[in-house]
Amino acid sequence: MTNITDLGIAALRDGVAKGAFSATEVATAFNAAVEAAQPALNAFIVTTPEKALEAAARVDADRAAGKPLGKMAGVPIGMKDLFATRDVQTTAASKILEGFKPQYESTVSQKLWDAGAGMLGKLNLDQFAMGSSNETSAFGNVISPWRRPNDTTPLAPGGSSGGSSAAVAARIAPAATGTDTGGSIRQPAAFTGISGIKPTYGRCSRWGVVAFASSLDQAGAMAHDVTDCAIMLEAMAGFDPKDSTSLNMPVPDWAAALDADMKGKKVGIPREYRLDGMDPDVAKSWDDGIAWLKDAGAEIVEISLPHTKYALPTYYIIAPAEASSNLARYDGVRYGLRDLPEGAGLQDMYAATRAAGFGPEVKRRIMIGTYVLSAGFYDAYYTQAQKVRTLIARDFTKAFEQVDVILVPTAPSSAFALGEKSADPLEMYLNDVFSVPASLAGLPAMSVPAGLDRNGLPLGLQVIGKAFDEQGVLNASLALEQRAQFSAQNGSRPEKWW
Ligand code: GLN
């Protein structure tokens, strides 16, 4: 008898449609798994078992009535707590939003419910999605379900979508939403041995998603495998007149067009990503990936993305600049926390509320952002960064005249221990070195598991594609997945200790 919680989106949906099990049985099984794991993993900020059951009951009733079922019918998912969910606390993992219950639903979450998915709860994350380890949450660290062999040191699940990655890797949610501003879907997916796709900027509506850096923020899917990511992304994507940067393009049927045959395709390998002192296991997994795509029929082409080394500093100017502006709205007047000291005036209330409500990383970003936008420094930093951003995007445009997709590692290492990098923000930022270039260029990019490193921890490979070519990204990722031999079936999943 299969264990329901071992199954992913496609298997659950098809099982429900066939009547192998009911949606209610599925929701019940995952609700129990969530409850059992919550004390150890802290993947959720709030759990909503009743929401999962309500959605399941609707699917079971529709099936009984012979009504057509949605793409995600009967699949309960975790929702990153950056998506506004009606009447359910939405915090961005910040104290400043504690207790905030939106009166509206984000477009992406609404689309998922319309497709028949249910909600297991709101997933923990780095505060306002700022971080790479899930250590900046005001609701405690998420603990990765992965451990080094014979070692109980708690490891980071990656960030900012660390609750999402931990929950999917631990099989307490078959899939979860993520958001990616500079790597927050791909890096946590890599750290936990799951798959995650960030689509082209504009594919998924940002309406109702707590804003971090609006020109970079994109929602995406995190799931067991490439097929499940394709299915879920289809349910999430689509034009939304409520988001001025939403792409007005049809959403292709990505899952149906999946094809791992890479014959006639060219894969670019950018030499600038081969950094001095690169972790030998990461370098080896990259070489493995190259060999796998060759085996799938692709031609490998060395390419150059000359401005790569400027991507990280550019990102860490643009993202904080936008964040400082976006986060100005948390002032104690409109949402969540209000700190109004005795006899205080309006300015004092702003200051007290923001001092008490924002965590140290968020304050750091606001200060950097305000600095680079200030009159004396605007041109030297912000304008300059915008120009370099264009050069980075142009590097990709040129490269894609030669190749169909680009293959690089997702992150410079496997998961690190909690506390290992949190004292040094720069060291934490370096973790994003391979993920931010695609974000700055607005391109679709996906991380798939590549195998385990010398510490027995997962590594990810990243496929970057042309704008709007999620299909190309998914297809190359599928070719990698089929050769990486990394699956729950062959034991490539965390041993259960929680
Ligand atoms: N780690 C990056 C940061 O801290 C990316 C975060 C994200 O993609 N949301 O900004």
Paired with 77 in beta bridges are 119
Of the candidates 82, 68, 186, the residue with the CA atom closest to the CA atom of residue 116: 68
Q: Is residue 71 part of a domain?
A: yes
Is the beta carbon of 184 within 6 A of some atom in ligand 1? yes
Of the candidates 431, 406, 456, the residue with the CA atom closest to the CA atom of residue 301: 406
Is the beta carbon of 160 within 6 A of some atom in ligand 1? yes
Q: How far away, in angstroms, is 413 Cα from ligand 1 center?
A: 16
> Is the N-terminal amide bond of 325 cis, ω within 30° of 0?
no
Q: Is residue 254 part of a domain?
A: yes
Residue 492 annotated in active site: no
pLDDT given for residue 273 in this prediction: 97
pLDDT given for residue 489 in this prediction: 67
Instruction: Quote the number of domains for the chain.
Output: 1
Q: How far away, in angstroms, is 431 Cα from ligand 1 center?
A: 10
Q: Is residue 241 part of a domain?
A: yes
Residue 184 annotated in active site: yes
Q: Which of 80, 81, 130 is the best mutation target for the ligand 1 pocket, counting ligand atoms within 8 Å of the beta carbon and taking the most?
A: 130
Give the number of the atom of ligand 1 that is nearest the alpha carbon of residue 130: 4
Q: Is residue 68 part of a domain?
A: yes
Is the beta carbon of 319 within 6 A of some atom in ligand 1? yes
Cα–Cα distance for residue pair 199/219, rounded to 1 Å: 8
Supply the CATH number for residue 419's domain: 3.90.1300.10
Cα–Cα distance for residue pair 420/390, rounded to 1 Å: 34
Question: For tokens 């894969």, what's the residue?
Answer: 267
The residues of the chain scoring below 50 in pLDDT are: none
Of the candidates 258, 216, 237, the residue with the CA atom closest to the CA atom of residue 448: 258
Q: How far away, in angstroms, is 131 Cα from ligand 1 center?
A: 5
- Catalytically annotated residue among 22, 132, 133, 160: 160
Of the candidates 18, 114, 31, the residue with the CA atom closest to the CA atom of residue 63: 18
- Catalytically annotated residue among 22, 51, 71, 80: 80
Q: Is residue 308 part of a domain?
A: no
Q: End-to-end distance of the chain based on CA atoms, in angstroms?
A: 23
Tokens encoding 498: 């929680």
CA neighbours within 13 Å on the CB side: how many for 269? 17
- Catalytically annotated residue among 22, 133, 184, 205: 184
Of the candidates 131, 233, 249, the residue with the CA atom closest to the CA atom of residue 176: 233
pTM for the full model?
0.98
Q: How far away, in angstroms, is 75 Cα from ligand 1 center?
A: 28
Q: Is residue 316 part of a domain?
A: no
Is the beta carbon of 130 within 6 A of some atom in ligand 1? yes
Residue 309 annotated in active site: no
Q: Which of 83, 132, 201, 410 is the best mutation target for the ligand 1 pocket, counting ligand atoms within 8 Å of the beta carbon and taking the most?
A: 132
Q: How far away, in angstroms, is 132 Cα from ligand 1 center?
A: 6
Q: Is residue 430 part of a domain?
A: yes
Is the beta carbon of 182 within 6 A of some atom in ligand 1? yes
Give the number of the atom of ligand 1 that is nearest the alpha carbon of residue 315: 10
Cα–Cα distance for residue pair 225/229, rounded to 1 Å: 6
Q: How far away, in angstroms, is 319 Cα from ligand 1 center?
A: 9
Is the beta carbon of 217 within 6 A of some atom in ligand 1? no
pLDDT given for residue 2 in this prediction: 76
Give the number of the atom of ligand 1 that is nearest the alpha carbon of residue 184: 8
Q: Is residue 152 part of a domain?
A: yes
> Is the torsion defined by CA of 442, 446, 450, 453 positive or negative?
positive
User: Which residue range forms the structural domain that includes residue 412?
Assistant: 4-265+402-488
SS3 of the chain: the string is CCCHHHCCHHHHHHHHHHCCCCHHHHHHHHHHHHHHHHHHHCCEEEECHHHHHHHHHHHHHHHHCCCCCCCCCCCEEEEECCECECCECCCCCCHHHCCCCCCCCCHHHHHHHHCCCEEEEEECCCHHHCCCCCCCCCCCCCCCCCCCCCCCCCECCCCCCHHHHHHHHCCCCCEEEEEECCCCCHHHHHHHCCEEEECCCCCCCCCCECCCCCCCCEEEEEECCHHHHHHHHHHHCCCCCCCCCCCCCCCCCCCCCCCCCCCCCEEEEEHHHCCCCCCHHHHHHHHHHHHHHHHCCCEEEEECCCCHHHHHHHHHHHHHHHHHHHHHHCCCCCCCCCCCCCCCCHHHHHHHHHHHHCCHHHHHHHHHHHHHHCCCCHHHHHHHHHHHHHHHHHHHHHHHHHCCEEEEECCCCCCCECCCCCCCHHHHHHCCCCCHHHHHCCCCEEEEEEEECCCCCEEEEEEEECCCCHHHHHHHHHHHHHHHCCCHHHCCCCCCCC
Cα–Cα distance for residue pair 34/44, rounded to 1 Å: 8
